[in-house]
Amino acid sequence: MERQRIAEQRRSQAVHIYSKLRSTRATAIRATQPMSISKFEDFDFLAKYCIFSQENLAEYKRAFEAVDSDQDGYLDCLQVLMALKEIVPPHVLSDAEELYVYRILEIVDYYVTDGLTDLRLFAVMASLAQKIAALDSFMRSLIDHMDFKALELKMYKAKQLFLCNIDEESKIINVGQLLVELKAGGISQEHEEAAQLQLRHIKKLDILDFLTYLPLFVLIHNSVISNPLDDSRTI
């Protein structure tokens, strides 16, 4: 009975998030297109830079297969949302944080509502969800207030920031180098210290780390743009 109650709770929450995804303007427009099959290798930016450990992939595979009722190797949108709750339990993420997982990937042209999703794309979402769940309250508050329309306008610069700092061989960014790049872009000492504080526990960022912390980079960029001559502002 308890297992059934938990399953029904997860389905109810998945339906709730699904309705929110479908109600957004961006996905509503694309919903008129035919159902498609989304494969990890079709998304060059993700396929080139994503790094998964075999241990994590095994965990994600178990959650994926638990809801892949027809065992065809693909999940529809609602199944993806339900499988994600096998990785990150209900109530660990706010609605805004869970929506961030899906909406941030729309920036690289993957829309979970468009059709069927393969295991590695699900692994991207599961990894992002776990990383967000581990963030401190400051970063999570940034995600809770993320303006995705504004982010779309800044995504080109965000990609350039990533590509300018990524090591093509290891597929990771050295945090020290990233901070140098941000400082060269005109951030104040306070901004630099705030970024160091948020990234203090890691020395290197992969693409999923970068997407997780993207709201911080956008906040810094917004502060610089709003008053480029003021080096005394704080975050």
Inter-CA distances, 190 with 15, 103, 186, 216, 233, Å: 42, 29, 11, 13, 7
105 and 58 together in one domain: yes
121 belongs to a structural domain: yes
Asked if the structure places residue 154 within a domain, the reply is: yes
More confident residue, 31 or 145: 145
118 shares a domain with 59: yes
pLDDT digits (tens, 9 = 90+) for 34-86: 668 899 999 998 999 999 999 999 999 999 999 999 999 999 999 999 999 99
Domain identity same for 46 and 85: yes
Residue 116 maps to a domain: yes
- How many folded domains does the chain comprise? 2
Percent of the chain beyond pLDDT 90?
47
Domain that holds residue 175: 147-226
Residues 108 and 59 in one domain: yes
179 shares a domain with 126: no
Asked if the structure places residue 18 within a domain, the reply is: yes
> Per the domain annotation, does 98 fall within a domain?
yes
Residues 50 and 103 in one domain: yes
- 176 neighbors 200 (Cβ within 8 angstroms): no
Q: Are residues 56 and 98 in the same domain?
A: yes
pLDDT band at 149 (very low <50, low <70, confident <90, very high): confident
Asked if residue 47 is part of any domain, the answer here is yes
Render pLDDT for 182-217 as a digit per residue (tens, 0 to 9).
Answer: 777 666 777 777 788 888 888 899 999 999 999 888
One domain for residues 32 and 120: yes
* Domain-located, residue 235: no
Judge if 175 and 204 occupy the same domain: yes
96 part of a folded domain: yes
- Tell me, yes or no, whether 106 and 6 share the same domain: yes
Q: Residues 26, 128: one domain?
A: yes
Q: Are residues 117 and 214 in the same domain?
A: no
